Structures are given as structure tokens and as C-alpha cells.
């Protein structure tokens, strides 16, 4: 954050190649490039340029947070207190700031009662089927007659209905904390549905009308 304040233009330029890791106005590549996105974690601080509510953006942890927490310095608790929402299952903070929250792993050594355990992928959700890359128009299948016969216009929203809980606004209905990596993996496909993009950060996933005939 301090580097950005000194030279925002250079920060933006350096992050351009990893824009899909943090650009909430476009398609996310986070699930497919998780390790790379973690390498570019400081770029998450640029998200406040895109959000209508910049105050909802959690800045990434300072580079030396692990040392601060190892030595039990007061600054460790101060930083970790700011990110306490990451470990709150009744908050959308982890979902809206996933990479930034991951940079606060050193808070396990703080004294504020931090407990953010990331469970294994698909421990709660089913694994996304391989054909979703075609059903959600991520890859062309026009030359494959078997896929053309199998995949219907509503295939993508029908698949994504299985993980509607990842998009729910109410904490009791939202399952992101139960399987954050699984939700991220499914979102990699479902984000091609405009309704999913619109609601990933604000909650309240609305399924297409076609799936709910009156």
C-alpha cells in the first residue's frame, strides 16, 4: 500500500499482467492461476479504484507481518484486528477479499483469536464437471458433434445452480466459508453468466427465470 501511495502509476503498470487476479469488472482468472495471483497479491490494493464502496476493500498485509507476529509485537495485533473479518463466518469479507485475506495467515500467531482455516477444495461442493468449459462458452466446441448434442443453451446456468450457495448474501445460506476454493473454481466457469458476475461481490445470486417457471 505504501508503494502504491508513492508511485501509483508504476504500481498499476506492474500489475497489468495480473489484472485478471483483481479486476472485478472483468472475468477473474484467480482459480486457474491461484499461485500466480498470490505472487501478485499486492495488486489487490488496486481494487478500491474499481469498487463503488472502496471502504469494503481489505488491503494486503505488510511484508513483515510474519516477523511482527512471531515477536508478538503490538503492531501484529493491530494489523490482524483490521483483517479479523476474514475469519468471521458471518461476514462476506473472505469472499470479497480472498487473496488479501490469505496474506494475513501470520495472524495465527497473534493474540486476537484469529482462526481462518481454509478447507480442502470440494470438501463441501461437488467437483465442477469437465464439460463446463464448453457449456459456459469458455472453449469452442462447434466442431464436436457429440458436445453439440449434449450441451444445451441453458446448460451453464443449470450447472451453476448447484453452487448457488456460493453467491447468497445471507450468511446462513452462503457456503463460501465451507469451501472457498471450490466456490472459486466453480466461479471460474459460472462468471460467464452475467448474473453471477454481478452478484459474486454483492451476494444474492438470482437464477435465470427459465429455471423457475411459474
Cα torsion angle, 85, 90, 96, 97, sign: positive
pLDDT tens track for 151-163: 555 678 888 989 9
Question: What is the b/e burial string over 97-119, where b = at least 16 CB atoms within 10 angstroms of the residue's CB?
Answer: bbbbbbbbbbbebbeeebebeee
141 φ, ψ (degrees, to nearest 5) = -130, 20
Whole-model pTM: value is 0.77
**Which run of H or E residues covers position 11?**
helix 8-15
Cα torsion angle, 15, 97, 138, 35, sign: positive
CA–CA distance, 135 with 129 (Å, rounded to integer): 10
pLDDT tens track for 90-109: 888 899 899 999 999 999 88
CA–CA distance, 18 with 44 (Å, rounded to integer): 10
Residue-wise pLDDT tens for the chain (214 aa)? Answer: 544 455 678 888 999 888 888 876 667 888 888 899 999 999 998 886 555 455 678 999 999 999 999 999 999 999 999 999 998 888 888 998 999 999 999 998 887 878 888 999 999 999 988 888 877 875 555 555 555 555 555 678 888 989 999 988 888 889 999 999 999 999 888 887 655 544 555 444 333 333 333 3
User: pLDDT at position 144, please?
Assistant: 57
CB atoms within 10 A of CB 210: 10
Domain ranges of the chain: 2-109, 132-211
Mind spelling out the 3-state secondary structure of 160-210? Answer: HHHHHHHHCCCCCCCCCCCCHHHHHHHHHHHCCCHHHHHHCCCCCCCCCHH
N-to-C CA span, the chain? 50
CA–CA distance, 192 with 200 (Å, rounded to integer): 12
Q: Which of 39, 75, 41, 76 is nearest to 58 (CA)?
A: 41
Cα torsion angle, 124, 98, 116, 174, sign: negative
Residues 6 or more apart whose Cβ sits within 8 Å of residue 74: none
Amino acid at each position: 500500500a505504501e508503494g502504491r501511495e508513492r508511485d501509483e502509476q508504476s504500481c498499476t503498470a506492474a500489475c497489468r499482467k495480473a489484472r485478471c487476479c483483481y479486476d472485478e469488472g472483468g472475468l477473474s482468472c484467480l482459480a486457474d492461476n491461484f499461485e500466480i495471483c498470490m505472487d501478485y497479491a499486492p495488486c489487490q490494493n488496486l481494487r478500491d479504484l474499481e469498487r463503488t464502496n472502496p471502504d469494503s476493500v481489505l488491503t494486503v498485509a505488510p511484508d513483515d507481518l510474519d516477523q511482527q507476529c512471531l515477536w508478538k509485537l503490538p503492531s501484529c495485533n493491530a494489523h490482524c484486528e483490521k483483517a479479523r473479518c476474514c475469519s468471521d463466518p458471518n461476514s462476506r469479507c473472505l469472499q470479497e477479499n480472498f487473496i488479501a485475506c490469505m496474506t494475513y495467515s501470520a495472524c495465527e500467531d497473534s493474540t486476537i483469536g484469529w482462526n481462518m482455516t481454509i478447507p480442502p477444495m470440494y470438501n463441501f461442493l461437488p467437483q465442477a464437471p469437465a464439460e463446463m468449459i464448453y457449456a459456459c462458452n469458455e472453449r469452442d466446441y462447434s466442431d464436436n458433434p457429440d458436445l453439440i448434442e449434449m450441451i444445451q443453451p441453458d446448460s451453464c446456468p443449470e450447472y451453476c445452480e448447484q453452487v448457488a450457495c456460493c453467491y447468497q448474501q445471507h450468511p446462513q445460506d452462503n457456503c463460501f466459508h465451507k469451501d472457498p476454493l471450490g466456490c472459486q473454481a466453480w466461479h471460474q466457469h459460472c462468471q460467464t453468466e452475467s448474473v453471477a458476475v454481478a452478484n459474486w461481490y454483492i451476494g444474492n445470486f438470482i437464477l435465470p427465470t427459465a429455471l423457475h417457471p411459474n
